[in-house]
Structure 1
Amino acid sequence: MSGGASSPTTSARPGTGGSYKRKRSGAEFESSPGSGGDDNEDEGERRRQPGVKRACNECRQQKLRCDVVQDPFTTCSRCNRLKLECKIESNFKRVGKRSKHAEMEKQIERLQRNLQRAQNLGYVIEDEEELDSPMANGVYSRNNQSFMGSDEAVSSLLHLKQGGSYMPRYAREIENVGLTQEAIDHLFNEFWCYYHPYLPFLAPGQTPDQYYQQHPLLFWTIIAVAARRYTADPSLLTSLIGPITRLLWSTVGEVPSSHYVVKALCLLCTWPLPTSTTSTDPTHILCGVMMKTATGIGLHRPSHTQDFSRVSVELNKEQLHDRVTTWAVCNIVAQSIGTGYGQPASTLYDWTLAIRPGDDGPFVLSPELEARLQIERFCDKVSKEMYSNATDPRGVAGDELRAMLTRVYRREYNELQVSVLSRQDLSPIVNLHLKAAGLHLRLSAFFDSSTTPGYMDDLTGLWRAVLAFLDLVFELESPPADNMSGNILRFASNYILQMINAACFALLKLLSSFFAREVEFERGRILFHRTIQAIRSMSVINNDLPWRLAELMVQMWNGARVEQRSRQQQMANNGNGNGNGHEARTVVDDSLQLKVRCRMSMSLVFDSIWRWREEFQAQGRGNLEAAMKNPTNPDSAAESSASSTHMDATLMPPAHQLQNQLLVAAGAVTPNHGLPSSSMISGSIGYSESNYEVFDPLNWMLDGLVDFPYSYAAIQGLEANGLG
C-alpha cells in the first residue's frame, strides 16, 4: 500500500485529491469527527455548479448538495423546507455522527446518575414528563452542534427543587461522580469528627478546596474515607471505588514527587477501599509505594530536602513540621500494616523520629502521634526479635529464646503502658492501640510447645491480653451517656479490625482446647459472640471481608461444637474428681501449636482458616456458598442449650442487612452426633494437597501455600466500576 498513512483526525490521506475522497464509504464519513477534505469538496462543487460558491453549514454537515446563493444571499431549498438556519461559516467543522451519539449517550448516563443522586439527597422532580424525553436527558443544540453541560441541563430542564431553590451545581467531579459543595462540606466534617482521631496528622482548619489544590488524590481519598458511612448517599462509596482506583494508579505511575500524595497513601493504607478478598487488596503494595515515595522525595531528611531535588528548596518552620509529621505517620501506618498483615514492616525509625526531651522545634510531634509512634516502635521490636530469626527457615525464634524475649518485652510493655496511660492529653484510641500491641506480643504463645518453660503462664497471659483488648473495644463502643466517643467500630481502621479478628480467633482456639478448664468459659463465650457482632458491624459493603470473616468464625464455632464439648469436659472432670472434691489435673498437649508459622503474630488467623478448609472439604462447595446468603446462627449446629440460646442470637446478622435463616435449613451444616475431637481448631488436622474446590471466604490467606483453583465473585458493585 503506497502513500502516506491515514491521519487519525482526518479522513483523507496526505497527497490525495478529490477523486479519492468520492470513493470512500459513508461509514468512514460518519466516524470522522471533522472533515479534513471540505475545501476539496467545495472546489468540486464549484466546478460542477458555477452559480454555487459554497455549501451552507447544514448541508455540509450532512454532505448533501446545496443550492445556496451567496451574492445576493438566498437560503438553500433544503434549509427553507426544514426551517433550518441557513448560513455559511468559513471555520465550520463537521461533527461525526458516531462521536456525537457517543457523547450524547455519556451525557444521558451522567445526567441520570446526577438525577438519582439528587433524589437521594431529597430533591424532587417538578415535571416528570420532561424526563421521558431524550432532550431532557441529553440536551443537544441543533444549530451550533454542541451539548449543554450537565449542570446547565439540570438547572434548565430537570427543575429539581428543595425548599423552593434549584439543585446546586457540582463543585467537584471525578469521572462520572459529582459532588455538590454542601455534600463535600458534610463529608469533610464527618472525616474530621470520626476518622481523623485515628490518624490525626491533617489540618482540619484547611478547606476542601485547599486539599484539592494540594493534590486531587488527597481530596478524593478524604471523600472516600468519609463515604464509608455516608447515610445521605449509601451508594457513594461503591461509585467512587473505580474512579479513585484509576486516579491512584495513574498518579503512582507518574512517579509522584509531592508529599501530599504520600498523605493520601497513608489514608488509603489505613482505610483501604473495600474488597471481598485480599488477593485483590493492594494495601501491602501501596504501603511500599508510600515509603519509597517518602524517602524518594526526602521526607526522612526534611531539613535537607534539596539533596533530593533538582532545585534548591527552602522550607519554613511550618512546612518543615508538616514533613516531619508526615514521615512519622508513614512509619506508624507501615508498622500497623506489617503487624496486621503478618509481613515485615518497611519502617525506618531514624534521627528524624528520635525523641528529644525539652526540644520545641519543628521535629517535635503532637502528644497523640508521639505516643502512637512509641507503641509502633515496640511492635517493631517484637516482630523483629521473635519472627526474624536468620537461623530458622520460617524466621521464628526458638522456644527458649522466645520465652526469654517474652519476659523481657513483658517488662518493657508494662513500662510503656505506665508511660502512655500517665498522660492525660491522649485520646482513648491511643490506649486501644496500646492494648493491641500487648495482644501482638502475647500471640507468640501459640508458637510454644507444651514442654516450653512457663507454657501455661504464657497461655494465661494471652488470655488476659485478649480480654483486655476486647473489653476496651466494647467499653469505647458503648460509652457513658456523657461520652460522645462511642461507636468507634463503625469508623475504625483496618488495623483495629485485623487485631479484633486475631482476638476472636484466639478466643475460639483457647475455648476449644484443654485450656478452657483454666478460664471462665462463660465469659469467653459471651465475649466471642459480642466480637462476632462487632466484626459484622464493621462491614461497609455487603459481602466485604469483615462480613465474610464473621460468617467463617461462626461456622468454625459450630463445627467445633465448642459449647457441647465444654459441657462434656466439665462432666468428665466432675466424674474424675477425687474424694476431696478436687478436679482432675489438666492434661496439657500440643493441640494449640500452629502449623502456619510464617505470618508472625497473624499466623493464628491463617492457621485457623487452613484448618477450617481442611475440615469442610468433604462437605463440598455448593452448600457452603449458601451460608453467605443465609448467615449462620449457632443454634443451627444442633447443640444449643438453655444457657446459651439468648447469647447465640447475638451472632445473627442485623435485620437490615440480610434475612435471618438457619444454616441447617439451607443445607449448609449436617448435624453430627458423633463429633470427633476439635480437629478444626486443634492440631489434629494435617496438611494435604487435595485439589478440592471448596468455598473459601479468605482464599487470599492461603495464596502460595498450595495450589487450589479458588474463585469467588467480587463485591457486588465493584465490577461496575471497573474492578471486576
Structure 2
Amino acid sequence: MPRPSQSPAQPQNESRKRGRIACSQCRQAKIRCGLEQIPCSRCERVGLDCSINPSYRRVSKNDKVKELEQQVQHLHEFIEHQHDGVLPVSRSSRGSSVRNSADPYHTGTINYDPSPQSSVSHSAIAPKTGHIDPPPNQQDAATRVLGRITIPQKQTRAMFATYFKHYHHFLPILEPTRTEATYYHTSVLLFWSVIAVATRQLRSDEDLLSRLAPELNQRLWTTLATSPVSLATVQAMLLLSCWPLPNVRLWTDKSWILSNLAMNTSIQLGMHRPGSEIGYSKETLSLTRGDIADRACTWFASVALCQSLSVDLGHGPTAHFDDWTVRAVCEGSSFDDIPSELRHSLMIERTNHDALLLLSKDAQSPFGVPTGDNGFDIIWECERRFDELLSTLESQLSLTNRLDLQHARLHIQCIYFLYDEDNSLRLPGLLRAYSTASDIVNTILSDETSHDVLPYAPLRVVRIIFNAALVIFRILHSTCAAGLDYKGGRLLFNAAAFSMRQLSVLQKDKDQPLRASEMLRAFWRAAERNPSMSSQAPKLHIKSRLGASLAYDCLLLFRNKSSDNRARGPDAPTQNNQAPTGELSQNTLSPISNELPDPIFLPAVPPTDLDLSIFPEGILSISPNIDMTDTLWLQDIGYPAFPDIEVWQR
C-alpha cells in the first residue's frame, strides 16, 4: 500500500542527523555523555577507555555473566586435567572423538561386536570407555578435585576398592575390573558418586562426606540440566538413589525422583532393548557383549529400585514390569549373565508390583484399596504369592533380598490397618503382620553376616526396620496384643532400634538412621506412659498411602505433638507435666464428629497425681542437632511431607 504523501507544511527532517554521539562506555552504562572532546568528562574522571563507535551495541549483564561462567568452567577443567596429565579438549572435538569410539557410556549408533574383546586398540582407548587414559607416571601423581574437595589418587583408589568390596553387591551395575582413572575420565559425576558412597563409613575422615555432599549435589543437577544423558549418568543417579547424601532433608530428598528419572533415561538410551540400540542412537558406537550386559543390568536395577522406593512411599505400582526383558529375567529364560542379587531383587519387585496392581484394579475407595470382604480375599491372595516366592528362593536369597521380600509381604499386610475393626478378618491379618514384622527383626538377629552387612546396606533397609518396629509397637499397645508375648516383643523392638543405628553414616551431625532410632524409643516410652492405648483397637487417620499409611500416621502424631509443645512454650504453666484444661479438652476432641479419636492421639488424663502424659517435653528433646524450626523435622527419616488437612477421614 503506498504511503501517504508528506504534507508540504511538514518540515523536512530526513536530511537531519544527530550532531552528538555518546561514547561506547556511556552507551553501555546508559548515562548521558557530555562528549565535547575525547575522552569525555565521565571517562576521564573514572579512568575508562573512551572511544566512539557508531555501530556499538550494548552487551547485557546476563550475557556477560554467562561468558564469564564459561571461562571459569574452562579454567577449572584445565586445572583438573593438568592434575591428571591430560589437556582439556574443546566441546566439539571431545564430542566427536568420544562418540566415534567404543564407549558404552555415550549414545551412538551401535555396531554390535559379538566378541568379548573390543576391536579398538587398547593403547589408544581405554577398554569399554572410549576415553584416553593418562600415562602411568602421570596417573600416580593425579589429584581429583571437585569444588573445594581435593583427594589424592592414592586415596581414591582405596575408596574404589572399599566400594567394590562392601557396597557393589547391593547394586551390581558397575564393572569392578575398570580402574578409578577410567571411571573418572568417563564421568566425573559417576566417579564422585562412588566416592560419596565409599566414604559413608570412612573412619579416617568422618567430615569428608559432609563437605563433599553439597559439591556433589550441585554437580548432579548441573550435569542433568546441561549435559547429554549417558549410561554413566544413569548409574550415578541409581547410586545416589540407593545411598542418598546424608545432608538430605524433608524437602530435598529426591531419591524416588532420581530413580524414576534413571528408569526413563534408560528407556531413552535403549537399554531395555539389548542388541537393538541402533534405533535409539545417532552416532556410530561399538559395543561388546559385556558392554550390552552392563546396560541391561543398569536397566533392570532402575526398574527394581524405582518400584521399591515407590512401595516405601506408598505410591503403588510402577510401569515397565510387563516389558519382555523384565519377564525374561524373572522367568530365567534369558540373560544368564545377570547377577543373582539383581535377578532376585527384580523377581521380588515384580511380585510386589503385581500384588499392588491387583489391589488397585478392584479399588472402590479413594484410599486405593478394595472394600468389604473382597479386599481381604485379594490381600490373602497377595500374601500367598509372596509365600510361594519365598519357598522358591529361600535358600538362595541374600540378607538384603530376604528383608526386601519380607517387607513386601509386610507392606501388603499393613493394609489390614485401613479397614474397620468390626470385621472379623481384620484381627487375623494384623496378627500375621505382627508375625512378619517379628520375622524381619529375627532375620537380622539370626544372620551371622548382619553385623558386617548392615553398616554398608542401602538406606531402604532403615525404612524396612522402621516399618517393622512400628507394626510391633502398634500391635502390642492395642487390643490385638491379647495372647502375645509383650516382653519378647519389647526385645524385638529394642533390637530393631539398635539395628538402625548400625546403618548410621559416620559424620558429626545425626543422620536419618540415628534420628529414626531415637524416634522409636520415644514412641515406646510414650506408650508406657499412656496405658489407655492398650484398651483400644489400632486405627489410622492417614489411609491413602497403602501399606505405608502406618508409618505416615505415626509421623503425623509426632508432628502434631511437637507443634503443640512449641505453641505452648517451655514456660507454660502446667502441673505434673499436664496440659491446661482448655488445651487438654481441645486436643481430646476427635477430628471426626461423634467418634472417639485414635488412642495414640489422646493425651493421658491420670486418675492420680502420677505423670502419665503422653510425649512430655523431655521425650521430645531427642537431639540438639535437629532443627526444631521445621515443624516437620521428624519426617527427615526419608518420608515426604503430610498434607495439612484439618478433617481426617476414615
Scaled to the shorter chain, the TM-score interval is: 0.5 to 0.7
- Residue aligning to 1:429: 400
Residues 195, 492 of structure 1: 8 Å contact kept: yes
CA distance in 1, matches of 2:497, 2:268: 42
CA offsets 1:413-467 (integer angstroms, 9 cap, x no match): 12101111243xx533322222222222222221232233422211111111001
- Residue aligning to 2:466: 501
Residue 379 in structure 1 maps to residue 317 in structure 2: no
SS in 1 for 2:212: helix
CA distance in 1, matches of 2:329, 2:510: 47
- Residue aligning to 1:546: 513
- Residue aligning to 2:175: 203
CA offsets 1:645-699 (integer angstroms, 9 cap, x no match): xxxxxxxxxxxxxxxxxxxxxxxxxx982647999xxxxxxxxxxxx98674227
Residues 403, 453 of structure 1: 8 Å contact kept: no
Residue 702 of structure 1, CA deviation: 6.9
Residue 459 in structure 1 maps to residue 430 in structure 2: yes
Residues 198, 492 of structure 1: 8 Å contact kept: yes
Residue 207 of structure 1, CA deviation: 0.8
- Residue aligning to 2:15: none
Residue 418 in structure 1 maps to residue 355 in structure 2: no
SS in 1 for 2:203: coil
Amino acid at match of 2:157: D
Which of the numbers 548, 554, 557 marks the counterpart of 1:608?
Answer: 554
CA distance 1:491–1:384, change in 2 (3 Å): same
Range with greater deviation from structure 2 (492-501 or 552-561): 552-561
SS in 2 for 1:487: helix
Amino acid at match of 1:509: R
Residue 313 of structure 1, CA deviation: 5.0
Residue 558 of structure 1, CA deviation: 1.9
- Residue aligning to 2:259: 287
Which of the numbers 4, 11, 19 marks the counterpart of 2:39?
Answer: 19
Residue 269 in structure 1 maps to residue 206 in structure 2: no
- Residue aligning to 2:488: 523
Q: State the identity as a percent.
A: 23
Residue 188 of structure 1, CA deviation: 1.0
CA distance in 1, matches of 2:439, 2:242: 23
Residue 545 of structure 1, CA deviation: 2.4
CA distance 1:695–1:438, change in 2 (3 Å): closer
TM-score of the aligned structures, taking structure 2 as reference length: 0.67
CA distance 1:7–1:225, change in 2 (3 Å): farther
CA distance in 1, matches of 2:330, 2:462: 34
CA offsets 1:282-305 (integer angstroms, 9 cap, x no match): 212212221221111111223221
CA distance 1:446–1:295, change in 2 (3 Å): same
Amino acid at match of 2:338: L
Which of the numbers 535, 556, 561 marks the counterpart of 2:528?
Answer: 561
Task: Note the 1:678-693 alignment, pairs <5 A.
Answer: none
Range with greater deviation from structure 2 (439-448 or 244-253): 439-448
Residues 438, 465 of structure 1: 8 Å contact kept: yes
CA distance 1:306–1:486, change in 2 (3 Å): same
Task: Note the 1:321-720 alignment, pairs <5 A.
Answer: 321-349=293-321, 350-355=323-328, 362=335, 364-387=337-360, 391-423=364-396, 426-476=397-447, 479=448, 486-540=451-505, 541=507, 542-561=509-528, 591-620=537-566, 673=610, 675=612, 696-698=633-635, 703=641, 705-706=643-644
CA distance 1:538–1:624, change in 2 (3 Å): farther
- Residue aligning to 1:215: 187
CA distance 1:382–1:358, change in 2 (3 Å): closer
CA offsets 1:220-245 (integer angstroms, 9 cap, x no match): 10000111111111111011111111
Amino acid at match of 2:548: M
CA offsets 1:329-375 (integer angstroms, 9 cap, x no match): 11111111111222245441211122369978657522221111101
Residue 20 of structure 1, CA deviation: 5.0
Q: How many matched pairs?
A: 489
Larger radius of gyration: 1
Residue 395 of structure 1, CA deviation: 1.5
- Residue aligning to 1:155: none
Residues 559, 634 of structure 2: 8 Å contact kept: no
Residues 503, 513 of structure 2: 8 Å contact kept: yes
SS in 2 for 1:595: coil
Residue 187 in structure 1 maps to residue 154 in structure 2: no
Amino acid at match of 2:399: P
CA distance 1:428–1:536, change in 2 (3 Å): closer
Residue 18 of structure 1, CA deviation: 6.7
SS in 2 for 1:300: coil
Residue 224 in structure 1 maps to residue 161 in structure 2: no
Residue 276 of structure 1, CA deviation: 5.7
Residues 170, 341 of structure 2: 8 Å contact kept: no
Residues 334, 347 of structure 1: 8 Å contact kept: no
Amino acid at match of 2:539: Q
CA distance in 2, matches of 1:305, 1:593: 51
- Residue aligning to 2:96: none
CA distance 1:672–1:190, change in 2 (3 Å): farther
Amino acid at match of 2:610: H
- Residue aligning to 1:80: none
Residue 389 of structure 1, CA deviation: 5.2
CA distance in 2, matches of 1:672, 1:240: 52
- Residue aligning to 2:122: none
- Residue aligning to 1:317: 289
CA distance 1:227–1:621, change in 2 (3 Å): farther
Amino acid at match of 1:520: D
Which one scores higher on RCO, CA 8 angstroms, separation ≥ 6? Answer: 2
Residue 317 of structure 1, CA deviation: 1.8
CA distance in 2, matches of 1:280, 1:337: 16
Residues 199, 208 of structure 2: 8 Å contact kept: yes
CA offsets 1:613-653 (integer angstroms, 9 cap, x no match): 3345443368799xxxxxxxxxx999xxxxxxxxxxxxxxx
CA distance 1:20–1:301, change in 2 (3 Å): farther
Amino acid at match of 1:380: H
Residue 278 in structure 1 maps to residue 250 in structure 2: yes
Residue 178 in structure 1 maps to residue 198 in structure 2: no
CA distance 1:347–1:268, change in 2 (3 Å): farther
- Residue aligning to 2:13: none
CA distance in 2, matches of 1:183, 1:318: 28
Residues 624, 695 of structure 1: 8 Å contact kept: no
**Unmatched runs of 5 consecutive residues or more in structure 2:** 1-20, 52-67, 80-139, 579-607, 617-628
CA offsets 1:514-566 (integer angstroms, 9 cap, x no match): 12223110011111122222223323242322222223322222222269669
Amino acid at match of 1:189: A
SS in 2 for 1:535: helix
Amino acid at match of 1:418: S
CA distance in 2, matches of 1:637, 1:524: 29
Amino acid at match of 1:264: A
SS in 2 for 1:217: helix
CA distance in 2, matches of 1:17, 1:198: 75
Residues 238, 262 of structure 2: 8 Å contact kept: yes
TM-score of the aligned structures, taking structure 1 as reference length: 0.61
